[in-house]
A and B are shown apart, each in its own frame.
Chain A
Amino acid sequence: MMKREYRLRYIIKEGLQDTFYIWKDELRNVFKDTGVMIFFFLVPFVYPLLYSFIYNNEVVHEAKMVVVDQSDSYLSREFTRRVNATPDVEIVGVCADMAEAKKMLDEKKAYGILLFPSDYSKDLHAGRQATVSLYCDMSALLFYKAFLLSATEVSLDMGKELRMHNNPSSSDKMDQITVDPIPYESVALFNTQNGFASFLVPAILILVLQQTLILGIGMLGGTAREKNRFHSLVPVCRHFSGTLRIVFGKSLTYLLLYVVVCIWVLAVVPRLFSLPQLGDPLTILLFLLPYLFGCIFMSMMLSGFMTSRESPMLVFVFTSVILLFISGVSWPEASIPPFWKAVGYLFPSTPGIQGFIRINTTGASLYEVAHEYRVLWIQAGIYFILSCVIYRYQIIRSRRLIIKQYQYMKIQRMMRKDK
């Protein structure tokens, strides 16, 4: 009885010692390797800054528009003036005809045309509906949006004034229908200015964490395979004899490093660029835990398949584009085909991005992201088991190779003796 307890205690003690040995060893590997340092530190440091900088202006201001005024009346000039006064649109010129305006589009001096027909003013004075045509270069959807929203806003405002002007409370009967029968208001509940950075950057930040982990850990794995005897993932060394020790020891290294990275990526950068931060810090912390575990264990599993240190970059970099779209932040989740939705569930980034942006931008609690949270823990569990399987296999493989080589050498020695 005593003996067994002694043994168990010994195993735990040795296991812990080995875990810390591996932890320290892996930490050394990380800091020794510029390639890994690039992905663990430089990319998470620079990329969030770069992306925030690119999208920092949030919305398009002063999109260039040209006017073709065939009406040339007070009302058309007033409309033009008001569109020019909106923050989103700038009128860069008035052209005599459409051909001239199209030429300005061709020369990229403007991206939209506002056309007033010749009877624009006449119609309005006669109480008929008048039409203003808006032509838009579709190279950027945000220009189209800016033009459309500004022109619509001006048309509604001027319409209201015209109604009051046309019949200054003349007939009570007409009044009831002239004034808006049903007014409406629209409210953007979260990301209230519909900003581009606030929409896309939080998702990118989360994705950067996963992708850099995959690349960095993959590179460490590939390096180990290149360096170690028998091209094995696990070095031939007393401390690397147990699967759990290796998986725990290594994942602890990555986890500790990424706590630092997360603080920069998710706390400092959003503050620097005043991105939305409605989330409760504790909720974010609790949410990030399974996300990091999931990413780390998945990367460790994938690293088992990397035979050279450079292959992760060739294989995984392009997936970032796909993963961003599959996460459902730009292309809505409701419209993603079932097959790709299923593929998305293979990666922690999918529930990670969904959950994080809702916590961060809409102030959701863990209860509201319960589905994503559960998926993340399940992923972390599955990838943990799979990375253990990978390492177990590698340990057995290298042991078998050692034995094989030992036997081979023995045979050789015997053969030499025979001579």
Chain B
Amino acid sequence: MTYKESLHRIWLIARREVHRLGTQPIYFFCMLIAPAICVIFFVSLMHEGLPTDLPVAVVDMDNSATSRNLIRQLDAFEQTEVYMKTMSFSEARREMQKGNVYGIFYIPSDFEVEATSGKQPGLSFYTNGTYLIAASLLFRDMKTMSVLAGAAVGLQTGQAKGYTEAQIMGQLQPIVIDTHPIGNPWLNYSVYLNNTVLPGIIQLMVFLVTVFGIGTEIKYSTSRKWLSMGGNSIVVSLLGKLLPQTVIFTVVGFMYCAVLYGFGSFPLNSGWLPMLLAMFLLVLSSQAVGVFMIGVLPTLRLGLSFASLFGMISFSIVGFSFPVQGMDPTLQALARLFPLRHYFLIYVDQALNGRELFYTLGEYAWLLGFLVLPFLIGRNLKRALLDFKYLP
């Protein structure tokens, strides 16, 4: 086969594939509808960046002007909303078990009297670790509130005794920690999660569609015809078949980038090119993994099961929620087998931190490395395409 002839064959198969994609609604669903649902869901779910007005219960045993003032201030925090005031801790605890509040702020009796007379009344706050995100946000607010309450009392008594504010603060809190979260100073969860969850959806759908596209050829015995259109060359046949899918998924991926970095103005310290390249390579490498899956398990349902399980587990093993460095060493090694992991590392280096491209080249190379997979399994796949009888 000459070079020109190969190109012509690829073109013919691609046209055939476009026709297949157009006539079966399931492709339309998997390639466009499902990614659209996901982007609308995740962007609208986290549009505020951080959850606001998380309900807490206040157990106010003091019921004085000071304690009421504390409650008002706590309520004024953006993340916190005082859902209920009660005199009974067990009632507040029950509300927590009912899921109505995520935290309890406890003000002991005689709080006001003891605070002003220097008897050190203690404040306590309780969080429900069952809801980790809500718990850590409320922990932050309730702790700040407690520190502020102490500072207010300290300032009041100190100033009454003639000390300057600087002197008093130097005594109250000698060392302060000034935090600078690099790249995401707002601790925005949408930035934190969507930059990886959405590409994860793309990876999953690419796996499924790639396996489905090749698997149905086997299932409905059209694989011989497909292969003969490619002049019996698995490379030509695959290229022709996957090209239209590559184009569509790349466009979808670029749309995701547009939503995140354009419309959502998420941090993009690297400029567009490194991320668009990463997205393109994510699509390519996921297709390569998809070909590998159906090559290893050349039955449509087994191939698809493999794709589903691998695609779903990647959301966890990629380490954007729980860092890979905290996992078992075996899993740290396994994480490398997921294209999304390398995409995530590129995102951290490029878009989030704007590092020199030099530090990220390895990850781009990994994504390219996945393209070797189809060649490893090509022979097996070809045999399956030629001989395999579909067994339901």
Q: Which of A's residues lie within 8 Å of B, judged by CB?
A: 34-35, 38-39, 43, 47, 50-51, 53-57, 59-61, 63, 79, 105-107, 123-124, 126-145, 148, 151-152, 155, 158-159, 162-163, 166, 173-174, 176-196, 198-200, 215, 219, 223, 226-227, 309-311, 313-315, 317-318, 320-322, 325-326, 328-337, 339-340, 354, 357-358, 361-364, 368-369, 371
Verify A313–B99 contact, CB threshold 8 A.
no
Verify B153–A182 contact, CB threshold 8 A.
yes
In the assembled complex, the CB of A21 is this many whole angstroms from the nearest CB of chain B, namely 22
In the assembled complex, the CB of A377 is this many whole angstroms from the nearest CB of chain B, namely 18
Would you list 6 pairs from A and B whose C-beta atoms are within 8 A, ordered by A residue?
A155-B177, A177-B171, A181-B115, A184-B146, A190-B128, A313-B304
Report Cα–Cα, A134/B133, bound state, in Å.
21
Verify B94–A310 contact, CB threshold 8 A.
no
In the assembled complex, the CB of A307 is this many whole angstroms from the nearest CB of chain B, namely 9
Segment from B238-246, B270-278, B318-326, B368-376 that makes contact with A: B318-326
Residues of A near B348 (CB, < 8 A) are 137, 139
Residues of A near B352 (CB, < 8 A) are 138-139
Verify A186–B176 contact, CB threshold 8 A.
no
In the assembled complex, the CB of A313 is this many whole angstroms from the nearest CB of chain B, namely 5
Q: Which listed residue, A53, A162, A330, A333, touches B328 by the CB 8 Å rule?
A: A53
Verify B143–A194 contact, CB threshold 8 A.
no
- Across the two chains, which residue of chain B brings its CB closest to A79? B175
Q: Which listed residue, B99, B187, B316, touches A55 by the CB 8 Å rule?
A: B316
Residues of B near A200 (CB, < 8 A) are 132, 321
Segment from B11-19, B160-168, B248-256, B381-389 that makes contact with A: B160-168
The 0/1 profile, CB within 8 Å of A marked 1, for residues 111-148 of chain B is 00001001011111111111111111001001100110
Verify A192–B129 contact, CB threshold 8 A.
yes
Residues of B near A162 (CB, < 8 A) are 174-175
Residues of B near A144 (CB, < 8 A) are 181, 187
Verify A181–B154 contact, CB threshold 8 A.
yes
Residues of A near B55 (CB, < 8 A) are 334
- Across the two chains, which residue of chain A brings its CB closest to B344? A139
B: number of interface residues (CB 8 Å): 122
Interface residues of B in 218-249 (CB under 8 A from A): none
- Across the two chains, which residue of chain B brings its CB closest to A195? B129
- Across the two chains, which residue of chain A brings its CB closest to B303? A310
Tell yes or no: B170 within 8 A of A by CB.
yes
The 7 closest A-B pairs by CB, nearest first: A191-B129, A335-B51, A184-B146, A140-B323, A35-B301, A182-B150, A364-B97
Q: Which of B's residues lie within 8 Å of A, judged by CB?
A: 26, 29-30, 34, 37-38, 41-42, 44-48, 51-55, 81, 93-94, 96-99, 102, 104, 115, 118, 120-136, 139, 142-143, 146-147, 149-150, 153-154, 157-158, 161, 163, 166-184, 187, 189, 192, 197, 200-201, 204-205, 208-209, 212, 215, 300-302, 304-305, 307-309, 311-313, 315-317, 319-323, 325-328, 331, 348-349, 352-353, 355-356, 359, 392
Verify B175–A317 contact, CB threshold 8 A.
no
In the assembled complex, the CB of B216 is this many whole angstroms from the nearest CB of chain A, namely 8
Residues of B near A123 (CB, < 8 A) are 170
In the assembled complex, the CB of A42 is this many whole angstroms from the nearest CB of chain B, namely 8
Residues of B near A182 (CB, < 8 A) are 115, 120-123, 146, 149-150, 153
In the assembled complex, the CB of B86 is this many whole angstroms from the nearest CB of chain A, namely 16
On whether A138 and B323 interact (CB within 8 A), knowing A131-B176, A177-B171, A184-B146, the answer reads: no
Verify B132–A196 contact, CB threshold 8 A.
yes
Report Cα–Cα, A155/B26, bound state, in Å.
58
Q: Which listed residue, A130, A186, A314, A340, touches B45 by the CB 8 Å rule?
A: A340
Residues of B near A39 (CB, < 8 A) are 305
Residues of B near A192 (CB, < 8 A) are 129
Residues of B near A317 (CB, < 8 A) are 204, 208, 308, 311-312
Residues of B near A328 (CB, < 8 A) are 131
Q: Which listed residue, B142, B168, B192, B307, touches A138 by the CB 8 Å rule?
A: B192
In the assembled complex, the CB of A180 is this many whole angstroms from the nearest CB of chain B, namely 6
- Across the two chains, which residue of chain B brings its CB closest to A176? B118
Q: Which listed residue, A106, A140, A227, A368, touches B355 by the CB 8 Å rule?
A: A106
Report Cα–Cα, A189/B133, bound state, in Å.
15
Verify B130–A361 contact, CB threshold 8 A.
yes
